[in-house]
Chain A
C-alpha cells in the first residue's frame, strides 16, 4: 500500500447514540464519505474524502453528525506551516498546479474591518428611515456634464445609456457551467424582483434566461464563448472582462467533462471540449485596442447599452482605470484579490493582486485628480461581505458593488472551497443532475431577495444615522469614514482620517 502523506484535515464525528442509521448522509454526500456496513448495521465514514461542506450535518435528522478538525499536527513550525508542507506533498505526488476556489482565505488585512462609519449628533439630525424616504437608487453610466437645450430653452434629455439600480448592489459574474442551471435561475429571478442586475459570466446566456434580459449583464471574455448578436441584444449592459480578482493575469478553464448538453450549446463549443479562455484578449494588447472593442460592442448594439470594463485590482490599477475611463467605457468594475467564486490556481489566488479597498480608493482619487470621474461609474467587487462593506465601499468612492460569494452563501454554499471538483453537494457548483436538483430556484431566489432586502434596511439605517437620505450623497463621502489601527500610508491611500481625528 502506498504511503499516505496527508492526514485528513477534518474528521466526521458521528454520535452513535443518536444515529438511527437512516442513511441520509450516505445518499447526500457526493464525495462518498459515508458508507453503510450491513454486517455491523452501522454507518462508517472515510474522512479522507470529506470536504467539510456540512451537507450531511445539515440534513441528519437526529443531529448525530458534526465535522471537527482532526487535530492532527505536524511538529510546530511557524515557517513551514502544515499548509506549506501539505502543498509540497500534493505537488510531489501530482506534478500539477494546485487548484482551489472561493477566494483568498489567507490572513491579509481586511481594510473594511478597520474602517468605521460616522453618525450624526446634535449639530445635524439623523433621519429615521421608517418615517422619511431613504433613497438607494443609483444610475450607472457616463455622466457628461454638457447640457444641450432645444429652441425654447428646454433641456434635451439625451443622457448616454444607463443602468438603473434599485439598490447599489449587483450579482457578479458566475457563468452557467461553473454554476448550475438552478443557481443561475435563482440569481436571475432575484435580480429581476429586486430591480438590479446579475452577470452571466463568460459562459453565454442560456436560452431559457433571455426573458431576464433586462436585468442581465452579459460578459464578453477572452474566450468569446456564447457571444453573438442575439446575446448582446438581449442584455441591459455588456461587460468586457479583462481580468478577475481571484486570478489576475490568467485565463479560465472549464474542463470538457463539464461542457455537456446545454452548456456546450450555450457556450457554442462542441460537447466534451475544454473551454479555455486565454489569459489576454488576443485582440487587446494595449489600451487603444480596448477602445476598439468597446466601440465595436457599442456599434453592434446601436449605442443603446452601457459597456462595462472589468479589471482585476493590480498594482497600477489607478493608471489602468484612468486609461479605461478615456476609452469610451461607461463603467469600470474593479475586482479585488480577496474575491472570486470560481476555481483558480492556488498560488495566483493567494499571491497576486491587491485589496479592493486600496484599489478602489486610489482609482476614485486618480479619476478625480484627472477630472474624469464623471466619465464613468465605478463598481467595486472582491469580497463585499455585508451591508457595512457596501456602505464603506460607496463612501470610499464606488457607485455600486458586485457581490458573488455572499450570493452563493445565500443559496446554501458552505464555502468548502472545492467548486473545482464539480461535486457541490448544495447543487451550486455542479452539473450533476441529481445534485443540481437539490437547489430549488423557487426557494433560492427568495433567499436572495431576503438577503438583499435585509441589506437594504441596514444600508438605510446607516445612511439615516449619517443624516444622508440619498445614496448619491454617500458616494465618495470619505469624511464619513475613519480608520482604526491603520498607519499613515494606509490612511493616505484610503483618503480617510484616523478615528479620533
Chain B
C-alpha cells in the first residue's frame, strides 16, 4: 500500500519561524524547535520549507524532485527540457546517516519557462509552471516534484524531522522563513512524497490535523484542474490555497475567512459592510470551508500564515521577539530556541496570523 491508494489519517507537530526584517535565519533553529516535539511524530515523515534560500537563482523556479530510478529521471528530464530552460541541475546535497534509509534519487533544477512555449500556451508564467508540475506528478511514473517555487525549497523524507533536517544539511541554508513538520500517520506508507510540507509554486503547507471536510474539498478542487493523487489533507489544503490566492486573487486574510469561516452567529453580529462581505465569501466559496481539526502553517512568497480550524481543535501557539515571529504546536518548541519572548499568545480558532516581510526588504 503506498500513499495515494488509501486515505491515511495522521496527527503531527508543526513549527515555523519568520523574520519580518528579512534577517537571514539559519536552518538549525527550526530543527531544534521541531525536535522538542519528537513524541508528536512517529518517524514516518518529516520535512521543512525554507524561504529566501536561493538568492542566486531568485527568478528561477527551483524544482526539487524525487525519482524512483534512472528511467523515471530521464523521462522527467526530457519533459522538463521540452518546457523549460534549465539554468542548473544537481543532486540535492545530503548527509548519509543511519536514521534515514531507502532514499530515492533527489535532484534539484533551477528553471524558467521557454519563452516561445509560454507565449504559445497563452497563460501566465506561474500557471504554466503549475500545470507542468501537476503533469509530472500525475503522468510520469516514479517522478515526483515536491517543490517548485522561486527562492524557496522543500526538504522532506521518511524519518523523524530532526533526522530529516540533518540528512538535508538544513543548517547550511539561510533564509527569512522556515517551517517544519513531524508526522504521525496511523498507517505506514513509507513514501517520501507523502511527508510534509506539501508545496506548489511558492505555496507550502504543513498541517496538523485530520479534516472532516476532506472529500467535499477534494471533489471541488479537482474540478478546477488539481488532481489529488496523494489523498492527504495537506495536498488538498495546498491546492485550495493556490486556487484562492493565485487564481482567484483572494488575500490571505480572505482565504482564512473562507477556509476557517466565522460562524454565522458571529457574522450576524458584524457591522453591515463586514457582514455582507463575510456572507458573500461563505456563500460563493462554501465548498472550500474546511471542518475538523487542523493547525496549518502556510508559507508563501514573502510571508507566512498560521491558521487554526474554527473550533481550535488542535493546539497552536504564536510568539514574537523583535522582528521574529514564531508559531508551533507547543510553546516549549518556541522557548527552546527563544526563551526571551516579547509576547506569547494562542491564536483563536479561525483567526489567521499573517506575517509578511517589511516593505522594501525584498
Contacts and interface: CB of A to CB of B under 8 A. Distances in A.
B248 A477 contact: no
Interface in B73-127: none
B24 interface: no
B222 A468 contact: no
Interface stretch (B40-48, B135-143, B188-196, B284-292): B284-292
A157 B284 CA distance: 10
B198 to A, nearest CB: 19
Contact of B280 (A159, A469, A472, A474): A159
Contacts of A478: 215, 219
The 10 A-B pairs of least Cβ separation, nearest first, read: A473-B213, A479-B215, A467-B212, A157-B280, A477-B216, A123-B9, A472-B286, A473-B291, A124-B210, A139-B283
B60 interface: no
13 contacts: A120-B212, A123-B10, A123-B186, A133-B263, A137-B264, A139-B286, A468-B291, A472-B213, A473-B216, A474-B216, A475-B216, A478-B215, A478-B219
Contacts of B285: 143, 145
Nearest to A126: B212
Interface string B183-214: 00010000000000000000000000110111
Interface string A449-480: 00000000000000000111110111111111
B287 A472 contact: yes
A468 B286 contact: no
Interface stretch (A241-249, A367-375, A417-425): A367-375
Contact of B214 (A368, A469, A479): A479
A469 B281 contact: no
B280 A155 contact: yes
A183 B191 CA distance: 62
Interface string A243-267: 0000000000000000000000000
A159 B278 CA distance: 12
A135 interface: yes
Contacts of A157: 276-277, 279-280
A132 B312 CA distance: 12
Contact of B9 (A124, A133, A144): A124
B210 A162 contact: no
The secondary structure that dominates the A interface is loop
B283 A159 contact: yes
A127 interface: yes
Contact of B290 (A132, A374, A473, A480): A473
A145 B220 CA distance: 12
Interface residues on B, range: 35 or more
B311 A135 contact: no
A1 interface: no
Interface string A134-171: 01010100011111010000110101001000000000
Contacts of A154: 277
B250 interface: yes
Contacts of A373: 220, 223
Given A123-B11, A135-B263, A368-B223, A143 B215 contact: no
Contacts of A145: 248, 284-285
Interface string B261-284: 101110000000000110111111
B214 to A, nearest CB: 6
A477 B280 contact: no
A501 to B, nearest CB: 9
A166 B290 CA distance: 20
B336 interface: no
Nearest to B311: A132
B308 to A, nearest CB: 14
A193 B200 CA distance: 48
A469 B277 contact: no
Contacts of B263: 133, 135
Given A120-B212, A472-B216, A477-B216, A467 B222 contact: no
Nearest to B273: A154
A331 B282 CA distance: 18
Contact of A124 (B212, B216, B224, B287): B212
A149 B11 CA distance: 39
A270 interface: no
Interface in A469-501: 469-470, 472-480
Contacts of B209: 124
A132 B286 CA distance: 20
Given A133-B265, A162-B283, A368 B222 contact: yes
Contacts of B10: 123
B11 A476 contact: no
Contacts of B215: 476-480
B313 interface: yes
Contacts of B186: 123
A125 B293 contact: yes
Contacts of A472: 213, 216, 282, 286-287, 289
